[in-house]
Structure 1
């Protein structure tokens, strides 16, 4: 934001625009979150959660994650009329969400709201999930 010492009306206009944008547009684009910052997973209860992929995804596909007890993760992936539902493992380790049976770098938590969760994968790609339910 630019401030002009000789034009207080322009300054007030810029401040008002910023406030309007901050109030009206949060959550409009979860990817607008600062992707360089990482949040702690300690505040997110994944056990019992159902997440649904929002972005990026193909037009005729869907992906749902169901986080069960004891580190069980059920993934339902559909493409057109075909769905698969593998069962794998999940854990939080070194502030990363790790899924599957082979160790990897895991996903960093970038943003979490009441209805969305944004992750950064080890490749740097941002992934957004809708939080469908929590138990």
Structure 2
């Protein structure tokens, strides 16, 4: 619980430092950073308050198997970032999300579940692409495929 108190105070201080950096922004440009910083301050304050009321919970330490999955996941994210320029946002995102699912899935992979995951990821990535590329006009990597 002591670590939670320290982390929550650090996050509140970081949010206040970032808040001071938003004073030079125009009103419309500062709305989103202020919302994020308010959320960070509130969630950190709630975490700080919970340390006084919650019982001390025994935490499990990471096993070697869990650490292996974390390292593999981070490596896949770096590969995804590298593939963005070659394959584009849509193709590389669907491929990397599918590979992450196959690796992290604790159950035995089944073709129906794998295909449904790929379909859901494709739909989800297309929705993100539409929102950012078409609606918000944020350029996303196109690559050679899409």
Answer yes or no: same fold by TM over 0.5. no
- TM-score normalized by the length of structure 2: 0.22
Quick check: which one's helix share is greater?
2
- TM-score normalized by the length of structure 1: 0.24
Q: Which has the larger radius of gyration?
A: 2
Quick check: which one's strand share is greater?
1
